Amino acid sequence: MLIVIDYNVGNVKSVCNAFRHIGCDAELSRDHKKIEAASALVLPGVAAFGFAVNALGDLGSFIKDLALAGKPLLGICVGYQMLFDTSCEFGSYKGLGLVSGNVVDIPPGRVVPHMGWNKVTLPKDMALFEGIEAQKHFYFAHSFYADVTDTAAKIAYTDYGFKLPASIQKGNIYGTQFHPEKSSNQGLQVLRNFAQIAGERSA
């Protein structure tokens, strides 16, 4: 069973709907036992970083320990940003620190939020992108981005006037700045791939 972490932020439901649509067993929960027993965890999030970190509360360190012990974890959007060390959105906040890097402002000179469909160049060695063409559009909606400094992380980029990290993979830790649950068929394929990584069935 995949567990989608329920922590009182917007849009967790969409992620569950998308997994359900591809025939994958996913449940929304914040129950420690269920989270511990899960085949993999999804940390979604539509929220400002500070709100999300506060809403996650103690669950943060619990999830971090499970991820460090090898449980596959997929962070999406703010859930992805929380994988990093810090964020400067509306203040200064600490993330989970699973991947080295900081969440910072998108450089000036372009429209912010970075919102809409942008083309992502998909490296062949990133498991989330199995079976997807080398370049595909995905849906983004964010005003801050993760400046990834972790040399152990594989990174897929999109071009927004600079190389903006769109997705990372570091061992069993995965993340997408874009929203796979809102990225049409190619997004659903990313979720299928994560279900496969977790050993779950999907249609």
Partner 1 sequence: MLARRIIPCLDVKDGRVVKGIHFQNLRDAGDPVELGARYSDDGADELVFLDITATLRRRKTIVELVRKVAENVFIPFTVGGGITSVEQMDELLRCGAEKCSVNTAAVQNPDILTKAAQRFGNQCVVLAIDARRSKTKADHWQVTVKAGTEATDIDAVEWAAEGAKSGAGEILLTSMDADGTQQGYDIELTRAVADAVTIPVIASGGAGTLEHLYDAIVKGRAEAVLMASITHFENYTINQMKQYLRDRGIAVNL
Q: For CA atoms 57, 79, 161, 112, give the dihedral sign.
A: negative
End-to-end CA, the chain: 15
C-alpha to C-alpha distance for 111 and 123, rounded to whole angstroms: 27
Shortest reach from residue 69's CB to partner 1, in Å: 30
Angle at 32 between CA 47 and CA 193, to 5 degrees: 65
Shortest reach from residue 50's CB to partner 1, in Å: 9
Query: Is 59 a residue that touches partner 1 (CB under 8 A)?
Result: no
Give 6 or 150: the residue with its C-beta nearer to partner 1.
Answer: 6
The correct pick among 31, 37, 90, 199 for binding partner 1 (CB under 8 A) is: 90
128-147: contacts with partner 1 (CB under 8 A): 137, 139, 141-143
Q: Are 71 and 31 in contact (CB under 8 A)?
A: no
Question: Count of CB atoms within 10 A of residue 13's CB?
Answer: 13
Active site residue 179: yes
Query: Is 119 a residue that touches partner 1 (CB under 8 A)?
Result: yes
The correct pick among 48, 53, 83, 132 for binding partner 1 (CB under 8 A) is: 48
What counts of helices (H) and strands (E) characterise the chain?
A: 6, 13
All residues at 6 or more sequence positions from 185 whose CB lies less than 8 Å from its CB, including other chains? none
Query: Is 162 a residue that touches partner 1 (CB under 8 A)?
Result: no
- Binding-site string for partner 1 from residue 24 to residue 43, where x marks contact by CB under 8 A and - marks none: --------------------
Tokens 């969409």 — which residue? 14
Containing 14, the helix (H) or strand (E) segment is helix 12-21
Shortest reach from residue 152's CB to partner 1, in Å: 28
Shortest reach from residue 176's CB to partner 1, in Å: 14
Question: Count of CB atoms within 10 A of residue 123's CB?
Answer: 14
- Spot the catalytic one: 77, 89, 114, 142: 77
Catalytic residues: 77, 179, 181
Binding site for partner 1 (CB under 8 A): 10-14, 17-18, 20-21, 46-48, 51, 78, 89-90, 111-119, 137, 139, 141-143, 159-160, 179, 181-185, 187-188
